[in-house]
Structure formats: structure tokens, C-alpha cells
Chains A and B, each alone.
Chain A
């Protein structure tokens, strides 16, 4: 989040907006302090029902779409890292992210349709994931689970969240959101095993960055 704020300030263009949507059933209580700590001045949304992911067919965070002045999507669905990140547990350091996405974004803001980083319409259409009726039904189940959760009907919340994952097993968002509330967290062994299976099936949980 602090990096996106820095980039937003560097771009400093009144005709450019960042709409940053936390996909978080924990709501303002968990997402708000992170926005605040970043000093965010761009548009901040706490999206408890993961609507942005549903509308743009994203399966994981962070994901993004570039929208031009006419409302056309010119780039979509890739692991949206603003820089290279490093995480260390004291023994091993894992790096992820990249240092090419942000310069590409800045090029698009400056050069618009002449930027080499926008995709042709047919490429954009190809990059938009399909979202089947089963997956749409999963979105409805997820929202129903949230409704029961905020009313304290816990068994029903769990039931419909499980249904959402059954209906849309490709949603890393649903899977990890639920894992967050377990002891091992969203990046533990269960997550790693699931991702390993996912990749072995030839699936991308992030579309490879093509820059």
C-alpha cells in the first residue's frame, strides 16, 4: 500500500485514478488500518463481498485492470506487484514481485494508446477469464455466507462459504480468505499444497506477467 501511494504521488495526474479494493470479509477493522498506515489518498474501498474480483473475474490478489478514458479495458488480470518484495523468516528469504510493472503503468499514463504496454482488444478479451454460472453461483453463496456472518449465524456462514469454494474451486480468493482464519494462516502448508496441485494441473493463479 505505501508503494502504491508513492506511485500515485509520482504520477500526480488529475486524469488518473487508482481504485484500490481490499478483498476482505474482515471489513474496515482489518483493512482500514493498512490503508491508514499507507497514508492512502487514492480511492479506497473495503470490498467485503469480493465484488471487484467477481466483476473482473479475478481469482487472486493482487490483481488489476487498466481502464482507459472510454471505459475500455486495455490490460487485465496479472499479479500486480508494484515492486520486488522480500520476506525472510531469519533463515530463508523469499522474493516475489517485479520491477517492470510500475514503469509500464507510468508509460501508459503518459502515452495512452501509444504505449507499448496496452494490449490489443483481442488480447484483452483472451486475458479475461471465463466465469461460469457455477462460479457466479459461488459468488452468491459467498455473499450469503457473509450475510449470516455479520448477523452472528456462524454455522450458516461456514456452510455457505464452503459451498462457495465447492462451486468455484479455482478462486484462490475464497480459499485463502477462509484460510486466514485458521491457525496456519493464508500462506501455510495447506495453501502451498493447494497451489502446487493447481500449478500441476496447468492452471495459473496469476497470469504470467507479459511485459
Chain B
């Protein structure tokens, strides 16, 4: 079946990230974290949370705009006198699916259901941020005041 292996895998093998690092994929972006805790859960420094998904740890909870998730005991982990935020526990709590290749330390997070439902259920276009072919960042919200046709296609 693999008639076009050069197309299927045209890339030369390269390191996924520096040794000991972890890659986190979310909303089309890849973030490399230089320090994480254990391998079977994704433990990050609290300050990295905002860089990953925009949430921020506050006294009232883990918040993104008006959405605040009450802090849970499972979110905070202390290992070797180091405090960590358990992002995988947080994702499970808010029902955010993810797929992890723990052996290679790569975690891929899906969209957060609560965020999706708040827009699509109201028939509002979801916000996104993608880079166009000119290198410009394109956001759905850039087009308020204009009509937009969003159309997908493919070379296949």
C-alpha cells in the first residue's frame, strides 16, 4: 500500500526536543518545557500553564477569562520539595481529552469542550488563531464587521 513513502515520510529523523524536555501540543502550537516532574502525569510549573492554554492559577481557582475552575487537591503535586501543577489531572477534571506518548514525553491536548460548547451551541463562530501563507496571524475575531466565507479544501 505504501507506494509513495517519500511523500508519506519526507522528513529526516530529528530530535523531538532537547533531552529531558517535554513537548506540549495545543491549538496547533508546540511548547517545549524544560522542566517537568514525573513521566506518567504531566507536571508543569504553574507559570507555564498560561503559556500552554491561557489559564492562570488564582486564589479563586484556575481561570481563563470569566471561566474559573475551582482548585482541586489533585491539581497540586509536591515532589522533592518542588511544587507542580498537574496539567493532566486538570484536563481530566474539565473533560479535556488528550493523548500522551509518555515514553517520548509528548502530550497532545484537544480543544476544551466547555469553550467549544459556549460558542458553537450559540451558533457563534469559534475563535481560532492560525498563520496564513504570508506569515500573518489570522484570528476569527479579526473579521468582526465583515462577512466571511470559511472554506476548506485539500490537495488530495
Contact = CB atoms under 8 A, between A and B. Distances in A.
Interface of A: 1, 4, 13, 15-24, 26, 28-32, 34-35, 43-47, 49, 51-58, 61-73, 80, 105, 108-109, 112, 121, 124-125, 128, 131, 133-134, 136-137, 139-141, 143-144, 147-154, 156-157, 160, 163, 173, 176-177, 179-183, 185-186
Contact of B153 (A20, A32, A55): A20
B135 to A, nearest CB: 11
B111 A139 contact: yes
B123 A125 contact: yes
A185 B4 CA distance: 10
Interface string B113-156: 10010001101111010111100001011011111111111111
B59 interface: no
Contact of A22 (B4, B101, B116, B155): B155
B152 A64 contact: yes
Interface of B: 1-4, 7-16, 23, 25, 27-28, 30, 95-99, 101, 104, 106, 108-111, 113, 116, 120-121, 123-126, 128, 130-133, 138, 140-141, 143-156
B15 A141 contact: no
Given A30-B155, A35-B133, A152-B13, A19 B124 contact: no
A176 B155 CA distance: 11
Given A133-B97, A147-B23, A150-B11, A69 B133 contact: no
A156 B41 CA distance: 20
A19 B12 CA distance: 32
A68 B58 CA distance: 36
Contact of A151 (B16, B110, B113, B121): B16
Contacts of A112: 147
A17 B153 contact: no
B152 A21 contact: yes
Contacts of B125: 56, 65, 67, 71-73
11 contacts: A17-B146, A19-B150, A23-B152, A26-B155, A43-B138, A55-B111, A55-B128, A65-B149, A69-B145, A80-B151, A183-B2
Contacts of A26: 7, 155
Contacts of A128: 120, 123
Contacts of A137: 97-99, 110
Given A43-B132, A45-B133, 9 more contacts: A23-B153, A24-B154, A26-B7, A31-B154, A61-B154, A136-B111, A147-B108, A149-B9, A183-B1
